[in-house]
Amino acid sequence: MDGLTGPRLLTLRIRNLRNLRSVDLDLREKSQRILLTGDNGAGKTTLLEAVYLLARGRSFRGRKAGSLTTDGERRTLIEGRFREVDSSSDSILVFERSGRGSLRRYNSVPLGSLPPSDSPLRVKLVGENPQILLEGEPTLRRGLLDWNVFHVEHQLGRLRADLRRVLAQRNAALRQGGARVSTWDAAFVDLSGQITGKRVAFLERWRAQFRTLADDFAFLDGCDLFFERGWPEDSDLLDILERGRSAEIQRGQTLAGAHRADIRIGRDGSPSRLSRGQAKVVVCLLQLAAERVHRMTGLAPSLWLLDDVDAELDKGTADRLWRVLGESVAQLFIARLSAESGGIADGSTMPDAMFHVEHGVLTPPAIVDLTPTRLSSV
């Protein structure tokens, strides 16, 4: 892993983010594998969230998590200093949330709506509920696919926006009885075809990398990544729309097209049933496979945020997962209950630095000597 180059977060300053009132991380000494330990609710996931907010400008946690800003405070501030690839100086990324909204700044310049490939810092997240992604609504899996396609097919964002606009108009016509639906058919079919072409081009490379990674995990024997484009294979979308017009009018929505695409993990086209732990492995491998495709196109590596990924894995599976992550990722932030269990504390994948989080406060870090079971306090 030492040979991997990519952006490295060197310092992280957090003010008033949920239960983290004032946190400063200095990662300049050791910055490749950062382990965050602590009880549930201590603030580990919030630390991962801080990095995510810097990179993407939004949270990965739903509304149930409550307000970003600490109770009684008016503003949340996150500042990250990092070193970009082939740069001799540090860059600073800032996220700020106040009553007036959110703002990100990159080296003091406000960031607008950037395409993913132009973001100064990219992250990949594997959260604590991966089965929601694999078994939940197709929109979640489409989001994963398209987010990764965005990085290599820059036109996808515009095409998706155009599709949403045309789809809204077509659905409105259906709800009004369908008299003007055909006005939107040609544009809808054309946009669905363009989007599907870009998805398929990426997915062919993504699938190849996933298969290679999956070979190390016995429970994935025979599994593959399948794409459902949103209408039957070897069928003409316009013909399907015309033949299904009465059903669409009855339901008031378009029933076929790129907006109904999906991806699945399975055998012989049937979805696989996975345990919670196995689902975490699959999501890790999907993200790793996408990262490999991105690297092939010249993109710098992402920072990785892993939330308790090996909690329900047997030791052999955990060891294999940490090994492949250690070989592939330039910087890892790992949140878990303790440092003792699992492959992260074994040999070559041992953390460089460890922070313990308790009630939103970090204890002084430990710099980890890369020999098993030894920690030397700073």
Residue 332 is encoded by which pair of tokens? Answer: 């890892």
Return the number of other C-beta atoms located less than 10 Å from residue 140's C-beta. 14
> Closest by alpha carbon to 18, among 38, 53, 307?
53
How far is Cα 288 from Cα 184, in angstroms, rounded to an integer?
Answer: 39
Ligand-binding annotation for 42, yes or no, is: yes
44 annotated ligand-binding residue: yes
CATH of 143-274, picked from 1.20.1090.10, 3.30.1330.10, 3.60.21.10, 1.20.1050.90, is: 1.20.1050.90
Contact 282, 213 (CB under 8 A): no
CA 377 from chain center: how many Å?
33
306 contacts 333 by C-beta, under 8 angstroms: yes
CA pair distance 96, 57, nearest whole angstrom: 9
Q: Would the annotation count 39 as a binding residue?
A: yes
Please give the C-alpha separations between residue 108 and each of 17, 54, 93, 339, in angstroms, as whole numbers: 21, 14, 8, 37
pTM of model > 0.75:
yes
Was 107 annotated as part of a binding site? no
Q: Spell out the SS3 assignment of the chain.
A: CCCCCCCEEEEEEEEEECCEEEEEEECCCCCCEEEEECCCCCCHHHHHHHHHHHHHCCCCCCHHHCCCECCCCCCEEEEEEEECCCCCCEEEEEEEEECCEEEEEECCEECCCCCHHHCCCCEEEECCCHHHHHHCCHHHHHHHHHHHHHCCCCCHHHHHHHHHHHHHHHHHHHHCCCCCCHHHHHHHHHHHHHHHHHHHHHHHHHHHHHHHHHCCCHHHCCCEEEEECCCCCCCCHHHHHHHCHHHHHHHCCCCCCHHHCEEEEEECCEECCCCHHHHHHHHHHHHHHHHHHHHHCCCCCCEEEEECCCCCCCHHHHHHHHHHHHHHCCEEEEEECCCCCCHHHCHHHCCCEEEEEECCEECCCEECCCCCCCCEEC
Query: Checking DSSP bridges between strand 331-336 and strand 270-271, what pairing results, if any?
Result: unpaired
Query: Is 45 labelled a binding residue?
Result: yes
Q: Quick one: pLDDT at residue 349?
A: 59
pLDDT for position 1: 39
- Give φ, ψ of 109 to 5 degrees: -95, 125
CATH of 1-122+300-367, one of 3.40.50.300, 3.40.47.10, 3.30.413.10, 3.40.710.10: 3.40.50.300
165 sits in the region (left: phi over 0; alpha: psi -120 to 50; else beta) called alpha
Token pair listed for 219: 């429970």
43 labelled ligand-binding: yes
Q: Can you give the residue ranges of every domain in the chain?
A: 1-122+300-367, 143-274
pLDDT by residue for the chain (378 residues), tens only, comes to 344 567 889 999 999 999 999 999 998 877 788 999 999 899 999 999 999 999 999 999 978 788 999 999 999 999 999 987 777 789 999 999 998 899 999 998 888 766 655 678 889 999 878 888 999 999 999 999 999 999 999 999 999 999 999 999 999 999 999 999 999 999 999 999 999 999 999 999 999 999 999 999 999 999 999 999 999 999 999 999 999 999 999 999 999 999 999 999 998 777 788 998 999 999 999 999 999 999 999 888 899 999 988 888 888 999 899 889 888 887 999 998 887 655 554 544 567 888 899 989 988 655 444 333 333 332
